[in-house]
Amino acid sequence: MTGLETFAAAIARHTPQDGMFGCALPGVTLIRWSSPTLPMPVIYEPTVCFIAQGRKRAALGTTAYDYDPARFLIASVGLPVMGSVIEASPAEPYLSLQLDLDIAALSELAIRHPADPGEEPAMPAGLTLNAMTPPLLDAVIRLVSLLDTPADIDALAPLTIREILYRLLTGPQGGIIRHMAQADSRLSQIARAIIWIRTQYRDPCRIDEAAEIAGMSRSSFHRHFRAITAMSPIEFRTQLRMQEARRLMVSEAMDAASAGFQVGYGSPSQFSRDYSRLFGVPPASDAARLRAAVDA
């Protein structure tokens, strides 16, 4: 059995049906889907996602990131993403492990293991695709396999997660990880502003206040925000509004006008225009399609 087959079998043992499953491993979520899924809005918190089987797409703005067992995805800040499983079947379901990134642990590791002198700092990015390596895959397999021996989890899971974080820090994607670990990095500054916008997205977006929270000038804030999120601050707020409105219409059967008002729109027609521009169809039609897919 290959390493990937071992990885997939371990996840399959602990995901009895389709869905997302918390488990005894700290910060770990296991995911299984037996068929492709519709693009659905989700907030990617700082996390790393390893795929054992199948393929997934994360769309950020107009950029799509497709990843599979050969490549894993790192989300360095909380981003509004459209996620969809694009390769899965009952015989070979999509199987993945998602690990929350502990910024405090990364910071401590970054201090203990500084970058090599002269190493070029990577440009900050909200989402990155990275090649899986044998040592990293081995650590991830050992982590999920601890679910088969629950008595070992308390003693060994923290050590294995630390090894995974170390592999991320010292691998080709280490520059992005170091940006996450540094409180004064551009990525960390933008992350502070993102947290603020996410709490204020129903209100008018006060760019000067967001820039002040990031500790940047207005022009620098705009430039770095777009580099990291692939969106302007206003576009980012609109994504947050539309994702929440979609959830309200699908999960709580709220009508389009009420959902628009709930997320900060005073004009139903403006809400409908923005929604159609983002999702390609009017809000009521989109919600009906998604509810039908959920009920099928």
Same domain, 257 and 286: yes
Same domain, 260 and 221: no
Q: How many structural domains compose the chain?
A: 3
Same domain, 155 and 276: no
Same domain, 164 and 225: no
Same domain, 226 and 81: no
For residue 149, the model assigns a pLDDT of 97
Same domain, 23 and 71: yes
Same domain, 131 and 214: no
Whether 11 maps to a domain, the answer reads: yes
Whether 237 maps to a domain, the answer reads: no
* 70 and 238 Cβ atoms separated by less than 8 Å: no
Q: Which domain holds residue 174?
A: 3-180
pLDDT tens across the length of the chain (296 residues): 799 999 999 999 999 999 999 999 999 999 999 999 988 888 888 899 999 999 999 988 778 999 999 999 999 888 888 899 999 999 999 999 999 998 888 888 888 888 777 665 566 678 999 999 999 999 999 999 999 999 999 999 999 999 999 999 988 888 888 888 776 678 788 888 888 988 888 887 788 888 999 899 998 998 888 888 888 998 889 988 988 898 888 888 889 999 999 999 989 899 999 999 888 889 988 888 877 766 65
Same domain, 133 and 168: yes
Interacting residues of 280 by C-beta distance below 8 A, sequence separation 6+: none
* 99 and 167 Cβ atoms separated by less than 8 Å: no
Same domain, 223 and 247: no
Same domain, 39 and 97: yes
Same domain, 162 and 211: no
**What is the distance between the alpha carbons of residues 3 and 24, in angstroms, rounded to a whole number?**
22
Instruction: Characterise 42 by phi-psi region: left (phi > 0), alpha (psi -120 to 50), beta (else).
Output: beta
